[in-house]
Amino acid sequence: MGRKLLLTHINVPGIQSYSVYKEQGGYRSVDKALKSMSPEDVVEEVKKSGLRGRGGAGFPTGMKWSFLAKPEGVPRYLVCNADESEPGTFKDRYLMTHIPHALIEGMIVSSYALGAHTSFIYVRGEMMPQIRILEKAIAEAKAAGYLGKNILGSGYDLELYVQPGGGAYICGEETALLESLEGKRGNPRIKPPFPAIAGLYGCPTVVNNVESIAATVPIINDGGEEYAKIGIERSTGTKLISAGGNLAKPGVYEIELGLPVEEFIYSDEYCGGIANGKKLKAVVAGGSSVPILPANLITKTIKGEARLMTYESLADGGFQSGTMMGSGGFIAFDEDQCIVRNTWNFTRFYRHESCGQCSPCREGTGWMEKVLYNIEHGRGTMNDIDLLWDIQRKIEGNTICPLGDAAAWPVAAAIRHFRDEFEWHINHAQEAQNRNYGLAHYADPLEVVTES
Ligand SMILES: Cc1cc2nc3c(=O)[nH]c(=O)nc-3n(C[C@H](O)[C@H](O)[C@H](O)COP(=O)(O)O)c2cc1C
Ligand code: SF4
């Protein structure tokens, strides 16, 4: 059994409440940090842990914290990114729903480390049940003396607020999130300046993912070095993976980084193989924006080595034969799924979510969607495949924020690995129109939320 650090108590009845969470050892990291560690000590432990941001980019959390500017007399902010709108990703929602105090505890420890006295959890606007769960958890933590003035008599003050998001995927991009939090339209900002220098209200700000913040709890409890013992290379600790698509047991799993992808898919401890005894065709390993890989490349690298659930191993081979860990949204496609239809579906999403500030993204996503629609509906030509390739190349790297790349990569990878399917659609126009296409279901299979 793999070690669990975040979901250890997930099955304890009533763990959503403060009293049960506390009984299970909750809030020890706050006691420890505020009573016996300086903010710098906390940052140091997070650096030692090797924790990398769990929101998608995998940037080292301790390093990000150490970049935070500390001008005299200027407030600093910690903002938790709980916007989670990437298709296929539902792990933060799971954590917030079932163990909300793990996030609140992480927010207190992390805010203390950064010298923030006002912190925010920016939650995707559609997640009203989670917003209420978090608000209740904050009230409980405050009543217990873990929030507010002079926490545990340490002299440290912290107010924590939940902000419902603006209802757009782009509001998960950190600078768009800050704009939205300031009450404006969620348009990404041009960087630099980075949020560590000029973030919320122009003040130094750290934006971290829910899981990154929750991971600081075991790091402080057990020490950064202990945390770093789990995993391989620069992929330390555990990671939440939301597994969806055609898996026998879709759900949210906490894995030790370094687990072989094959074991994750086929072992009974995790996904239990492909549903209905079908064969695996392809996997999107880290949410809809990362390159799709065919079955032979997701379980083994091009060198024939076992592919592991690490940032490095998933990326092995670059975009020719590798992919990315991304946000941990693992979508499996069985042999009946149509790659063209899925690519069209993803692209439709990005076209809809483009904020429209930059032409390559605004025009390119719409153009790709139209071409994919034509191919999917039996109206494509062979030239369309090259056209698609050309459009995605012109979007990638030419936009203000990474949504442009996120829209380009799935199209590029689908053509790279499944060109024959695009050609089949073009050569079998009538059949393509009549066929009952497969579209893997990759929404949260556990979306039954109960507020206790
Ligand atoms: C279009 C877009 C959407 C994003 N959505 C999220 C999100 O929902 N949650 C998240 O944590 N990061 C998201 N990110 C990444 C954030 O910009 C940022 O890198 C992240 O919150 C940093 O946290 P971390 O260092 O803990 O990973 C998104 C990025 C882009 C470009
Ligand atoms: S890449 Fe797309 S979403 Fe990002 S700023 Fe440009 S237009 Fe907006």
Instruction: Pull the structure tokens for residue 381.
Output: 């030509």
pLDDT over threshold 80, residue 310? yes
Check residue 430 and give its pLDDT.
77
Tokens of 324: 């990315």
pLDDT at 446 > cutoff 70: no
* Alpha-helical runs (H) found in 149-306: 174-181, 210-222, 224-228, 261-266, 295-299
| Residues 238, 242, 245, 251, CA torsion sign | positive
**pLDDT at 448 exceeding the cut of 60:** no
pLDDT at 26 over 90: yes
DSSP SS3 for 256: strand
Quote the ligand 1 centre to 301 CA distance (angstroms). Answer: 27
Query: 130 CA distance to ligand 2 centroid (A)?
Result: 28
Domains and CATH numbers, the chain: 18-229 (3.40.50.11540), 241-253+260-330 (3.10.20.600), 339-434 (1.20.1440.230)
Q: How far apart are CA 281 and CA 438, in angstroms?
A: 12
Instruction: Return the residue whose CA atom lies nearest to atom 8 of ligand 2.
Output: 355
What's the rounded mean pLDDT across residues 53-80? 96
- pLDDT score of 358: 96
Name the residue with the closest Cα to ligand 2, atom 4.
401
pLDDT digits (tens, 9 = 90+) for 88-113: 999 999 999 999 999 999 999 999 99
pLDDT digits (tens, 9 = 90+) for 112-158: 999 999 999 999 999 999 999 999 999 999 999 999 999 999 999 99
Mean pLDDT of the chain: 94
> How confident is the model at residue 449, as a pLDDT?
44
Ligand 2 within 6 A of CB of 176: no
Residue with tokens 């191993």: 313
Give the distance (Å) from ligand 2 centre to CA of residue 213: 26
Residue 438 confidence (pLDDT): 58
Ligand 1 atom at minimum distance from 177 CA? 17
- Predicted local confidence at residue 444, as pLDDT: 55
Tokens standing for residue 286: 């880290």
Q: What is the mean pLDDT of residues 205-218?
A: 98
| Amino acid, res. 53 | G
Once rounded to an integer, what is the mean pLDDT over residues 270-275? 96
